[in-house]
Amino acid sequence: MAKYEIVGGNRLEGNVVISGAKNAVVAILPATLLVQGVCRIENVPNISDVRILLDIIRSLKAKVRWTDDSTVEIDTTEVEYCEPDPKLVTQMRASYYMMGALLGRYGQAHVALPGGCNFAARPIDQHVKGFLALGADVTETDDFVDIKAGPDGLHGARISLDVVSVGATVNIMLAAALMEGQTIIENAAKEPHIVDLANFLNTMGARISGAGTDTIKIKGVEKLHGATYAVIPDQIEAGTYMAAVVAAGGDVLVQNVIPKHMECITTRLREMGARITEYDDSIRVVRDGPMRRITVKTMPYPGFPTDMQAQICVCMAIANGISRLTESVYETRFFGYCTELQHMGANIVINGKTATVTGTDQLVGNTVTAKDLRAGAALIIAGLAAEGTTTVKNIHYVERGYERLIEKFTQLGASIRRIEE
């Protein structure tokens, strides 16, 4: 296990370059299995979730190699249907996209249930609802999901999701791209990474329209061909660095972003008092004076992302006045980090879906433990803003989703180092 040691109090200044979007690339990489050929995916973050997913794809006999620091070439010519290695599948959450990819390519899938951050119950009933609607028989055990074509075969279908689900929307798109007939997903997720997957599939010859709206149409095609595609910048990584500047103070140019994707975050940080300037592909964040309290409710895109809940909570913890933070996607997400922040002097009272955060002048360094990816990111931000030294343990969670974090924060003037325990 490893930990980060942070000496707080340094202003953050300079430039940070955002990597490719984790939640886009973990959907795009399984999509390469839909073709028998070669795909080149650019702007791929070298993070543990990606490395595990590439090993899962290798376990299906695909040839996978990094052609440079951020480009992956995947040759699926020799791929044959088999069960992805369960030891790898259970190490991350997005491995469940192998279900949609294998069902779409081979008409069947036998995949272990995923692992990953367990800050909340993360059911897959909407994924199963989609597979059943597409004509599959689905058998679920405590460890596996087994999906086979039903007696009437696989076919396009109209699927109305009961919950706006990123994962279910992705899995249905992967399953339906090569399926005969038209599939319509209603109440679909609209996140930038859904649009990125649809753009990649269309680059390979799929016929998907409506991605980014709540209704996505997929006209199944006979065959897809290999393609080269660059993943969009990571909205949540960018938001994390922006929140760090607001919490620790400073003046940072966040580069390689799509400002439109950041609006839901930019508006809230501006409300707190940050001075934010948007350029074509970068955003400058300046925070000099005191921050104002705000009220935030997390919502599916284009609302304020649940994956930024923990990070904005740290900003609230050192703002003037009483802020309110309501979680509408994962009710139990607060418990991944609020207790740790309280050990650093934060004044947070959780009541059901809402946390009331009373700003204090200063957080105080302490030894804290990350319990999931974004909770860990928030504790790092708290450490940067706090007086004294903070040790964040279990940072393997953080390294699942943040590429070269130590290097990027160090370049901004932070005092942060990684220690193997």
Residues with a catalytic annotation lie at: 117
C-beta of 4 vs 397, nearer to ligand EPZ: 397
Residue nearest to ligand EPZ (CB): 167
The CA-atom distances, in angstroms, between 246 and each of 1, 58, 63, 116 are 30, 41, 43, 29
Task: List, edge to edge, every strand of the sheet that includes 282-287.
Answer: 12-17, 250-255, 282-287, 275-278
Q: Does 401 bind ligand EPZ (CB under 6 A)?
A: yes
Determine the Cα angle at 304 with ends 299 and 310, to 5°. Answer: 100
CB of 22 to ligand EPZ, least distance (A): 6
Question: For strand 182-186 and strand 158-160, is the pairing parallel, antiparallel, or unpaired?
Answer: parallel
Overall size of the chain counted in residues: 421
Q: Which two tokens stand for residue 317?
A: 């913890």
| CA-CA-CA-CA dihedral for 154, 56, 49, 220, to nearest 10 | -20
Cα(119)–Cα(400) distance, rounded to whole angstroms?
15
Nearer to ligand EPZ, 31 or 319 (CB): 31
Interaction with ligand EPZ in 28-67: which residues (CB under 6 A)?
A: none
Tokens encoding 281: 């592909």
Closer residue to ligand EPZ, CB minimum distance, 319 or 375: 375
Residue 149 · residue 178 · CB < 8 Å: no
Q: Which of 168, 224, 246, 313 binds ligand EPZ (CB under 6 A)?
A: 168
190 binds ligand EPZ (CB under 6 A): no
To ligand EPZ, the closest distance from the beta carbon of 332 in angstroms equals 10
Establish if 329 lies at the interface with ligand EPZ (CB under 6 A).
Answer: yes
Smallest distance from ligand EPZ to CB 343, Å: 22
Quick check: 383 and 392 in contact, CB under 8 A? yes
Residue 186 near ligand EPZ by CB under 6 A: no
H/E segment holding residue 291: none
Residue 61: enclosing H or E segment and its boundaries? none
Q: Does 306 bind ligand EPZ (CB under 6 A)?
A: yes
For residues 395 and 421, what is the distance between their CA atoms, to the nearest angstrom? 11
Residue 82 contacts ligand EPZ per CB under 6 A? no
Residue from 373, 384, 405, 416 touching ligand EPZ (CB under 6 A): that is 373
307 binds ligand EPZ (CB under 6 A): yes
Residue 23 or residue 369: which is nearer to ligand EPZ going by CB? 23
Q: Is 352 exposed, middle or buried (0-12, 13-18, 19+ CB in 10 A)?
A: exposed
Residue 198 binds ligand EPZ, judged by CB under 6 A: no
When binding is defined by CB under 6 A, the residue of 123, 153, 290, 321 that contacts ligand EPZ is 123
**Is the bond preceding 302 in cis, omega lying within 30 degrees of 0?**
yes
Stretch that binds ligand EPZ, among 166-174, 241-249, 289-297, 353-361 (CB under 6 A): 166-174
Q: Does 163 bind ligand EPZ (CB under 6 A)?
A: yes
Taking CB under 6 A as the binding criterion, the range among 159-167, 217-225, 250-258, 409-417 that sits at the site for ligand EPZ is 159-167
Nearest-Å Rg of the Cα atoms of the chain is 21
For ligand EPZ, the closer of residues 170 and 274 by Cβ is 170
Q: Counting contacts by CB under 6 A, is residue 371 touching ligand EPZ?
A: no
Stretch that binds ligand EPZ, among 29-37, 55-63, 115-123, 349-357 (CB under 6 A): 115-123
Q: Which of 11, 58, 122, 353 binds ligand EPZ (CB under 6 A)?
A: 122
> How many helices and strands, by DSSP H and E, does the chain display?
13, 23
Interior CA angle at 270 toward 194 and 25, to 5°? 20
CB of 89 to ligand EPZ, least distance (A): 13
Q: 178 or 308, CB closer to ligand EPZ? A: 308
370 lies in the site for ligand EPZ, by CB under 6 A: no
Contacts of 231 (CB under 8 A, 6+ apart): 20, 21, 24, 25, 28, 41, 42, 43, 44, 196
Q: Does 10 participate in binding ligand EPZ (rule CB under 6 A)?
A: no
In the block, residue with structure tokens 């999701």 = 161
Maximum separation of any 2 CA atoms in the chain, in Å: 66
Our finding on whether 26 is near ligand EPZ (CB under 6 A) is yes
Question: At its nearest, how many Å lie between ligand EPZ and the CB of residue 372?
Answer: 7
Does residue 124 interact with ligand EPZ by CB under 6 A? yes
Q: What residue ranges bind ligand EPZ (CB under 6 A)? A: 22-23, 26, 93-94, 117, 122-127, 163, 165-168, 189, 306-307, 329-330, 373-374, 401
